[in-house]
Amino acid sequence: MYECQSKPKVYINFNSPDGNIYSVLTSAANAIKRYSIYDGNRYIAEMKERVLRADDYGKALDIIREYVDIICDTEKNS
């Protein structure tokens, strides 16, 4: 039997500068590094490439959500 590994969690306040797609992307990449995911650098590079090719903000967030769980954090201060 294989263990299922959950995705790293990223807390983002979308009403602050943290909601900028580049900030979200950086937070996601840092979370993947902290989570010590096997082959994490490859996943980060793949995620960044896909996000930068995305047509809009919503599609970019959907791509990031494939790699990490984004949790809306309205209490977080920038």
pLDDT at res. 1: 42
Phi first, then psi, for residue 29 (nearest 5°) are -60, -45
pLDDT at res. 4: 54
Parse the chain into domains and list their residue ranges.
9-72
**Which region holds residue 67: left if phi is over 0, alpha if psi is between -120 and 50, else beta?**
alpha
Digit-coded pLDDT (tens) for 11-53 = 999 999 999 999 999 999 999 999 988 889 999 999 999 999 9
